[in-house]
Amino acid sequence: MSLLSVDDLTLKLDGKVLVSNLSLALEAGARLGLIGESGSGKSLTAMAVTGLLPGNIRPSGSIVLGGQQVIGAPESTLNRLRGTRVAVVFQEPLTALDPLMRVGRQVAEPLRRRALRDGNPLSGTQVQAAVLALLHDVALPDPERILGAYPHELSGGQRQRVAIAMALACRPDLLIADEPTTALDVTTQADILALLDRLVRDRGMALLFISHDLPVVARIAQEVVVLRQGEAVERGPVHAVFTHPAHDYTKGLVSAAHAFDSALGGRP
Amino acid sequence: MSTLTPSLPRRSRTSFTLWAGLALVGLHVAIALLTLVWTPYDPTAMAGGRLEAPSWLHWAGTDRLGRDFFTQIMIGSRIALVVGIGAVAIGGVIGVTLGLLAAFASTWLDDALAATLDILIAFPTLLIAMLVVAMSDTASLFTAVLALGIALSAIVARLTRILAKRVLLMDFITAARTSGTSWFGIVIQHILPNIWPTLSVNFALQFGLAVIAEASLSYLGLGAPPPNASWGRLLQEAQGTVYTAPIGAIAPGIALVLLVIGVNLLADGLRDRIDPTRRAR
């Protein structure tokens, strides 16, 4: 059975269809890219998977995550699913961390909760050690110092690493990365992608990678689904979709990316 | 941002605010504590002639019954602190709870709460406090504090609601939700710490308001009854003799102003200390 299977998902806001009849499946350890422009419904799909849709958006269809139906499930069930089965890394590392909480505590919080849910609560020193190990794992320099730092004392890339550490602290089966590199500069982007790639492989997590950026998705995903105005217009292995796009929309995206690349490459 | 501001002037200004506030509030607290064990004269006994001018024996003179006026003002310090802390505590607990409820509530409940609060705020604090006092049988220090706390809670609730709603929209709340934090955990770990810097400054303003409102209540005879010499009652008693012995009105006024300024400076200074993003580096 798949870790995540979305069947016929439709999201409506006051009768307006935002996502229509979307189906996708993700096996344990697999990596799926969800591509589309702004407003194509990528992030909403991710929110629907975690059961955190805004109250005025009505979902229909089926989302089964780790054997649990998400749509229509009570809040207590969903809350147990979050931070155990699934964790999310967001786009904007500036605002995804609580500005008034030290980094160490922010990472410790989900870590402690996961341990508690597993039935083996950790002592203070155990938590401290595990947080340090996580900060080490996401390749933050000088983890001991960063442990006591506030988010505003870190760079954007460092904050995104902290956000990834917070997601890892949940030890999820599925990691959703919602445009995790969009707000970062190009070199930092490459570092973060390499980091995600390594962590997902090491820990055997499944990855749902959401982006509008084709080259970025090509580097990290195996399969892609191309979304346009809430509809899946094309899907398949990354390489096949990018080298032989079938749908006009995908063709447009691919040639735009090529044009951009050659424009950059053509500069002296 | 903060890296662009020169850090030295900011740091010293913060320190000055904090220390000046601490000194003024500390002085009042020290005097209030002192009156529990010692006062220069017996506050209820005649200590000299009537309406004596300030002298080395009676620093603020004597009142129309010949009691030492400085002693009365010292005791007034204690009452003002009890009133301020009590009213802010009561108003804070009721207000923050209501405000958080409104922020989390469904749209119609939120609208209903917000409208109710707006109507309550439209009434002057003092008027609401007078109503509450009037509804209880006897005027006592406790009813005055309770009345002021209830009157202040509407303002606190409205502020809390707005602040909490703003924090709720932040990405880190969504991030906390996706990692499985319960609503209760969100309130305790994220919302309260993030609204606290602004709330605490507001509490200082409310403290000042409460002390002044209690003085007004006492002035109207609705505050703490004798022998609780609150500053408002001292002002009321000084009314008849304000031309012959102006010290009776000036001295409690100065004490009141110093306490209110002190609390505001202290809250400002503390806010800069609590909020790490405002803290000078």
* pLDDT tens digits for range B157-210: 999 999 999 999 998 999 999 998 988 999 999 999 999 988 988 998 899 888
Claim to verify: residue A164 and residue A184 sit in the same structural domain: no
Q: Given this model, what pLDDT does residue B10 score?
A: 52
Claim to verify: residue A22 and residue A142 sit in the same structural domain: no
Q: Do B179 and A82 touch (CB under 8 A)?
A: yes
| Residues of B whose CB is below 8 A from A163 | 175
Q: Do B175 and A163 touch (CB under 8 A)?
A: yes
| β-sheet with A16-26: strand ranges across | A16-26, A4-13, A57-65, A68-69
Claim to verify: residue A116 and residue A152 sit in the same structural domain: yes
How close A245 comes to chain B (CA, Å)?
34
Q: Is the pLDDT of residue B118 over 80?
A: yes
Claim to verify: residue A3 and residue A130 sit in the same structural domain: no
Claim to verify: residue A12 and residue A126 sit in the same structural domain: no
Express each pLDDT in B243-276 by its tens digit.
877 888 888 889 999 999 999 999 888 887 777 7
Closest CA to B20 of B266, B257, B280: B266
Element holding A248 (H helix, E strand): helix A248-265
| Residues of A whose CB is below 8 A from B190 | 98, 101
| Residues of A whose CB is below 8 A from B194 | 98-100
Claim to verify: residue A236 and residue A187 sit in the same structural domain: yes
Q: Is residue A50 part of a domain?
A: no
Claim to verify: residue A189 and residue A237 sit in the same structural domain: yes
Q: Is residue A49 part of a domain?
A: no
How close A155 comes to chain B (CA, Å)?
13
Q: Is residue A210 part of a domain?
A: yes
Q: How much is the ipTM here?
A: 0.85
Query: Does A159 contact chain B (CB < 8 Å)?
Result: no
Percentage, residues of chain B above pLDDT 90? 30
Domains along chain B? 63-274 (1.10.3720.10)
Claim to verify: residue A24 and residue A138 sit in the same structural domain: no
Domain boundary among A153, A171, A189: A171
Q: Given this model, what pLDDT does residue A34 score?
A: 93
Q: Is the pLDDT of residue B70 over 80?
A: yes
| Residues of B whose CB is below 8 A from A95 | 170-172
Q: State pTM to two decimals.
A: 0.81
Query: Does A256 contact chain B (CB < 8 Å)?
Result: no
Q: Is residue A207 part of a domain?
A: yes
Q: Is the pLDDT of residue A239 over 50?
A: yes
Claim to verify: residue A197 and residue A69 sit in the same structural domain: yes
| Nearest residue in chain A measured CA to CA from B167 | A98
Per the structure, the complete domain to which residue A149 belongs is given by 97-171
Q: Is residue A260 part of a domain?
A: no
Distance CA A162, CA A33 (A): 23
| DSSP β-ladder status, A223-228 and A231-237 | antiparallel
| Nearest residue in chain B measured CA to CA from A75 | B182
Domain boundary among A142, A171, A200: A171
What domain count does chain A have? Answer: 2
Q: What is the mean pLDDT of chain B?
A: 84
Claim to verify: residue A165 and residue A179 sit in the same structural domain: no
Q: Is residue A265 part of a domain?
A: no
A69 vs A54, more confident: A69
Query: Does A109 contact chain B (CB < 8 Å)?
Result: yes
Smallest Cβ distance to B177: which of A52, A114, A176?
Answer: A52
Give, in degrees to the nearest 5, the angle at Cα B179 between A188 and A112. Answer: 105
Q: Given this model, what pLDDT does residue B2 score?
A: 43
CATH assignment at residue A230: 3.40.50.300
Distance CA B142, CA B133 (A): 10
How close A88 comes to chain B (CA, Å)?
6
| Residues of B whose CB is below 8 A from A50 | 177-178
Claim to verify: residue A19 and residue A5 sit in the same structural domain: yes
Q: How many CB atoms lie within 10 A of CB A67?
A: 9
Claim to verify: residue A180 and residue A76 sit in the same structural domain: yes
The alpha carbons of chain B give a radius of gyration, in whole angstroms, of 22
| Residues of B whose CB is below 8 A from A86 | 178
Q: Do B275 and A82 touch (CB under 8 A)?
A: no
Q: Is residue A47 part of a domain?
A: no
Express each pLDDT in A128-186 by its tens digit.
999 999 999 999 999 999 999 999 999 988 999 999 999 999 999 999 999 988 888 88
| Nearest residue in chain B measured CA to CA from A176 | B178
Q: Is residue A135 part of a domain?
A: yes
Tell me the torsion sign for CA atoms A245, A251, A256, A262: positive
CB B207 within 8 A of CB B274: no
Structure confidence at residue B1 as a pLDDT band (50, 70, 90):
very low
Q: Do B181 and A83 touch (CB under 8 A)?
A: yes
| Residues of A whose CB is below 8 A from B175 | 88, 90, 96-97, 163, 166
Q: Given this model, what pLDDT does residue A201 score?
A: 92
Q: Is the pLDDT of residue B12 over 70?
A: no
Structure confidence at residue B68 as a pLDDT band (50, 70, 90):
confident
